[in-house]
């Protein structure tokens, strides 16, 4: 177990597989802010073989420890814990592991069988080895974060799990250690992932705005017909839309989760004809409690998650969405 700095100092951990970038640095800065100057921040660097399946990129996963040490130090870490595989798994693969349960078999778990069992096993071990009061994980890996929270709750780990918002490049691409595999052409196609998520977010915002207008100043089909007769096609279409929103119950009506999915898919469909093409693994609008698909009339917090392959690189991304009268 790592030695703490000073009696009673709060400890925060940031667990990574190395190849640190600004996203990891943001986690370390959040951890430092959480524990204060008197606290202790440990970053772990460990490429965990248990969470890589057959044919995945374990052997080529970037390993840049010297650069990682500088990044971690500059972001505010007090120490970096970078154990060897035989230190974490003495004697080979462990016979006792953590099972991710039903949530672990959905989306990423369905695409990468066993991935989440391996991830939870190493997170459990690192939580024991670093003994933090709080551990920080990126929201970019939303299903991972949800499973870690579930494990901590179900198994009574004495640690607070803190999610930190996704960090993006200026063009919207979510930061990932695997981005370095992308060629310039790959990257242009990869931008469709974030654009699809943003299109869905904008569609949801438009739905809420329309329903707010319907609730405050309902339109009518009669008004729309009158505008149409005057040749005001755009105003007539707008009046029809407001009238439909009012007639379906305004803000209390169906939130249109299916329309939000469709907005994202319309962007991703372009990827099939891109050069190089985007091969969609999944697009799912899910309840963050269990990562099951939400119905069209869903209200509350949701996660829109996407996974796709561009060239030889598999990328994931997601965005949180709030469905309801005042959500976005």
- Which residues participate in catalysis according to the annotation? 24
Cβ neighbour number for residue 208 with a 10 Å cutoff: 20
Q: For residue 307, which phi and psi values (nearest 5 degrees)? A: -140, 140
The Cα–Cα gap between 23 and 137 comes to 10
Cis peptide before 276 (omega within 30 of 0): yes
DSSP 100: -
The Cα–Cα gap between 132 and 161 comes to 10
In three-state secondary structure terms, 42 is strand
Q: For residue 79, which phi and psi values (nearest 5 degrees)? A: -155, 160
The Cα–Cα gap between 160 and 168 comes to 25
Contact assessment for residue 174 and residue 317, using Cβ atoms and an 8 Å cutoff: yes
Identify the H or E element spanning 82.
none
Contact assessment for residue 100 and residue 147, using Cβ atoms and an 8 Å cutoff: yes
For residue 17, give every residue at least 6 positions away whose Cβ sits within 8 Å of its Cβ, in sequence order, or none. 45, 46, 47, 48, 61, 177
DSSP 112: S
Q: Please, which residues bridge with residue 282 across strands?
A: 307
User: Where does 217-286 have alpha helices with state H?
Assistant: 221-229, 233-247, 257-268
User: Where does the chain have alpha helices with state H?
Assistant: 22-35, 65-75, 85-88, 108-111, 115-130, 142-154, 184-216, 221-229, 233-247, 257-268
Identify the H or E element spanning 317.
strand 313-323
């Amino acid at each position: 177990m790592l030695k703490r700095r000073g009696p009673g100092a709060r400890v925060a951990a940031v667990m990574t597989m190395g190849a640190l970038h600004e996203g990891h640095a943001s986690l370390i800065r959040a951890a430092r802010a959480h524990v204060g100057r008197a606290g202790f921040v440990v970053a772990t660097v460990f490429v965990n073989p248990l969470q890589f399946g057959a044919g995945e990129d374990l052997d080529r996963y970037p390993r840049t420890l010297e650069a990682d040490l500088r990044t971690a130090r500059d972001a505010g870490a007090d120490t970096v814990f970078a154990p060897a595989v035989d230190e974490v798994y003495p004697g080979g693969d462990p016979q006792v592991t953590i099972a991710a349960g039903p949530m672990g078999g959905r989306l990423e778990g369905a695409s990468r069988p066993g991935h989440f069992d391996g991830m939870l096993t190493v997170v459990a071990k690192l939580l024991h080895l670093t003994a933090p009061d709080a551990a920080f994980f990126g929201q970019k890996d939303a299903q991972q974060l949800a499973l870690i929270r579930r494990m901590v709750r179900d198994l009574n780990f004495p640690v607070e799990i803190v999610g930190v918002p996704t960090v993006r490049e200026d063009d919207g691409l979510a930061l990932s250690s695997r981005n370095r595999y992308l060629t310039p052409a790959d990257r242009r196609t990869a931008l469709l992932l974030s654009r699809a998520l943003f299109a869905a977010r904008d569609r949801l915002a438009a739905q809420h705005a329309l329903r707010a207008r319907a609730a405050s100043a309902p339109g009518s089909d009669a008004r729309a017909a009158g505008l149409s007769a005057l040749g005001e096609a755009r105003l007539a279409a707008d009046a029809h839309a407001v009238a439909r929103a009012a007639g379906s119950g305004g803000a209390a009506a169906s939130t249109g989760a299916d329309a939000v999915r469709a907005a994202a898919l319309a962007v991703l469909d372009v990827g099939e004809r891109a050069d190089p093409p985007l091969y969609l693994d999944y697009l799912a609008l899910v309840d963050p409690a269990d990562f099951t698909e939400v119905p069209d009339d869903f209200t509350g917090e949701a996660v829109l998650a996407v996974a796709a392959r561009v060239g030889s690189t598999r990328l994931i991304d997601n965005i949180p969405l709030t469905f309801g009268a005042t959500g976005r």
